[in-house]
A and B are shown apart, each in its own frame.
Chain A
């Protein structure tokens, strides 16, 4: 039997191709850098922060950035803005991870089951998802926080519930597309148990659209945590959060804009970075068909 020559000699695994395509555009690299910086800030806040974020210094109130050992200035109570920002990153990151986790926990498995098995599962889960989707996200979060009391955990739970139907929708749609592929039937014909098929064939193939959703959800979660904290429904004073910093600085906004500008820029930049990463992911995960 003759051996057929292959057209390509360099072997590029899907993972390596993905990395190459994702790190191409400068915006993607920049966004990744921003998120990395915040990740480091969140993890290492106690070591990085120059001051205790809660300690007030009556002699150093409303300082402008770059003055007197306060790199980003101080707020109306004399607390160091940089330190509060770094600790705020912890809150934002925790909020994002927990809410996305809750969203995945509630959305992923039902979506895989509904997509693969259809029928009764699909009908029930999809109606629940539709009902959840018909609520405006922040209103739903407000309602949950209103019932369960204002604190960060409840706020994160609330945001997670908002994600459930969105993750569900994306994963279900991807599963529906994958289940029609012959390789699912082929695997069944081999005798592979359903749980294995889900894990080895369905999950890897729905991961790409899910990864896009997760990074977009991260951005939304950070924004939502800030909004809820701004409204006084998330992190409670005196603990620092980007949203509560904003609301505390609001009163003296005309005299000292810095305590407002710094967290605002931070939120915008971070959410933007999440969205850019999400877009970058969706551009680079596309499967190469290679039918030629």
Chain B
């Protein structure tokens, strides 16, 4: 594998609430290789969306670095930042509000071209129509307005908009969770097909594990603003290491009722702790079924049970050959 396309190091993102500041992401390290699909999972309030906004600079991170192809986005301002955005495009959760209702479909898909290319009007339109056909819509849809389309169709338009510049990375923030299940599968399959075809890397944010299984090469599990475990999708699903990952996986139902009934489930009690007042020691210690005394006192460092995965838990044995932690 070549060097990572996206390299996030020690990312901290906070929201300002009046005078106070709410730390939503607290020290996140994440790599995405070129062409790789990485899923970022976690329950509501775990900081997934804040992490995404920190990475894409929609919120300026408090601390840390976000290297895209070697350039640190965090330091960029104004024109340089806008230029860097060409390579990192987004698909948003709600296709009903992410498309400007006063613009036609051709204008919406053409907007990135106006900003980043010198294409003329006719050429932009040609490109937009090409993109429309690529996402399974027709040329005659180009002059319609977003309100004339269904949710799934709108998300296709949003995908066309995100891919029209052929970016290196697409960040999809819960891109299918606002859709009903049947269009969810279609849109997901389309996204998967297109990013594979164009060789685009994808950071896919979701709380839906079924979606992760379908699309992801690697998975990163987020809890209370930090990554507790990351690794290849099949390894993580088959042998989850962190107690939180195990709980998350066992919360997802299995389609076979016989298996479902006989499963040993790890149940979590309580709510996600207040991010303004996180537990001492390990962030998960307040809800962890396996917590020992050490967990309440000392935050665990990332350890690596395998060369391609890392877990932040005192109870996980690291492969001694692989310490100390991430390269």
On A, residues with C-beta under 8 Å from B are 1-4, 6, 8, 11, 13-14, 181-183, 185-193, 196, 200-201, 204-205, 287-291
A residues near B136, Cβ cutoff 8 Å: 1-4
Given contacts A1-B193, A181-B97, A183-B99, 17 further A-B contacts (CB under 8 A): A2-B186, A4-B136, A4-B153, A11-B144, A13-B143, A14-B145, A182-B92, A182-B97, A186-B92, A187-B100, A188-B58, A190-B111, A190-B116, A193-B82, A204-B102, A205-B102, A290-B147
B43 at the interface (CB under 8 A from A): no
Q: Give the docked Cα–Cα distance between A93 and B93 (Å).
A: 49
Task: Specify which of B92, B100, B141, B149 lies most central, judged by the most chain A CB atoms within 10 Å of its CB.
Answer: B100
Q: Are A288 and B89 in contact (CB under 8 A)?
A: no
Residues of B within 8 A of A188 (CB): 58
Are B148 and A186 in contact, with the CB atoms below 8 A?
no
Footprint of A on B, CB under 8 Å? 56, 58, 81-86, 89-90, 92-94, 96-104, 111-112, 115-116, 135-138, 141, 143-145, 147-150, 152-153, 158, 161, 186, 190, 193
Known: A190-B89, A190-B115. A288 touches B147 (CB 8 A): yes
Q: Which listed residue (A2, A183, A289) contacts B100, Cβ 8 A? A: A183
Complex: A188 Cα to B135 Cα, angstroms: 23
Identify A191's interface contact among B115, B145, B190, B193, CB under 8 A: B115
Instruction: Tell me which of B58, B83, B135 contacts A189 (CB under 8 A).
Output: B58
Q: Could you show 11 A-B contacts with beta carbons less than 8 Å apart?
A: A3-B138, A4-B137, A4-B150, A6-B141, A6-B144, A183-B97, A185-B98, A186-B92, A190-B111, A191-B83, A290-B147
Nearest A residue to B150, CB-CB: A4
Inter-chain contact B101/A287, CB cutoff 8 Å: yes
Q: Is the interface of A mostly helix, strand, loop or mixed?
A: loop
CA distance A236 to B252 in the complex (A): 82
Complex Cα gap A183–B89 (Å): 13
Q: Which residue of B lies closest to A184 (CB)?
A: B100
User: A186 CA to B98 CA in the complex, in Å?
Assistant: 6
Please state if A205 and B100 are interface contacts (CB–CB under 8 Å): yes
Which 8 pairs show the lowest CB-CB distances between chains A and B? A191-B85, A290-B147, A191-B82, A1-B136, A182-B98, A182-B97, A204-B102, A183-B100
> Closest approach, in angstroms, between the C-beta of B177 and any C-beta of chain A?
14
| Cα of A126 to Cα of B161 in the assembled complex, Å | 37
* Other-chain residue from B90, B137, B193 in contact with A186 (beta carbon distance below 8 A): B90
| Given A3-B137, A192-B111, also A14-B102 (CB < 8 A) | yes
Tell me the complex Cα distance, A201–B186, Å: 30
Choice from B85, B93, B104, B141 contacting A190 with Cβ under 8 Å: B85
Collect the chain B residues with CB atoms within 8 Å of residue A2's CB: 136, 186
Find B96's partner among A201, A288, A291 (CB 8 Å cutoff).
A291
CB pair A290 B115 closer than 8 Å: no
Can you name the residue of chain B whose Cβ is closest to the Cβ of A180?
Answer: B97
CA distance A288 to B137 in the complex (A): 22
- Which residue of A is nearest B141, CB measured? A6
Check if B89 sits within 8 Å of A189, measured CB to CB: yes
Closest beta carbon of chain B to A39's beta carbon, Å: 28
Min CB distance, A182 to chain B, in Å?
4
With both chains docked as a complex, state the minimum distance between the C-beta of B18 and any C-beta of chain A, in angstroms: 14
Nearest CB in chain B to that of A189: its residue? B90
Residues of A within 8 A of B100 (CB): 181, 183, 187, 200-201, 204-205
Measured CB to CB, the closest approach of chain A to B57, in angstroms, equals 9
In the complex, which residues of chain B have a beta carbon less than 8 angstroms from the beta carbon of A189? 56, 58, 85, 89-90
Chain B residues positioned under 8 Å from A289 (CB to CB): 147
Tell me which residues across on chain A come within 8 A of B93, comparing CB atoms.
Answer: 182
Interface hub of A13, A182, A287 (most chain B Cβ within 10 A): A182
Q: Are B99 and A185 in contact (CB under 8 A)?
A: no
Chain B proximity of A12: nearest CB distance (Å)? 9
What residues on A are CB-neighbors of B86 within 8 Å? 191
Residues of B near A192 (CB, < 8 A) are 82, 111, 115
Distance from B125 Cβ to chain A, minimum over Cβ atoms (Å): 16
Q: Which residues of B contact A205 (CB under 8 A)?
A: 100-102
Q: Which residues of A contact B193 (CB under 8 A)?
A: 1
Residue numbers in A under 8 Å from B153 (CB-CB): 4, 6
